[in-house]
Amino acid sequence: MEIEMITLEQIRTRLIEAIRQSGLTQTEIAKRLNISQSNVAHYLRSDIMPALDTFANLCVVIDADPSYILCQPQKY
């Protein structure tokens, strides 16, 4: 069985989409996470990904399913 590798670009694309759907600005997200707006911007445009705890809290703030962001198939 071949495993399909997930890329940072795929994760970033889904993260950008989820943030757009949340209706929150980068500044609003940063305030809720107690991080700088520039950190949020870095997550969306570079190879820097948030720490696991920050990622989990980010998903809560933007009301996104972490499995979706991480491109995981749904399990039924």
Confidence (pLDDT) at 28 = 98
Q: Which residues of 58-73 are buried (b: 16+ CB within 10 A; e: fewer)?
A: bbebbebeeeebeeee
Domain 8-68, what architecture?
Orthogonal Bundle (1.10)
The predicted model scores a pTM of 0.86
In whole angstroms, give the CA distance from residue 28 to residue 32: 6
For each of the chain's 76 residues, which pLDDT tens digit applies?
Answer: 677 888 889 999 999 999 999 999 999 999 999 999 999 999 999 878 899 999 999 999 999 999 999 987 665 5
The domain locations on the chain are 8-68
- Tokens 């993260």 map to which residue? 15
Does an H or E element contain 58, and which? helix 52-61
Contacts of 5 (CB under 8 A, 6+ apart): none
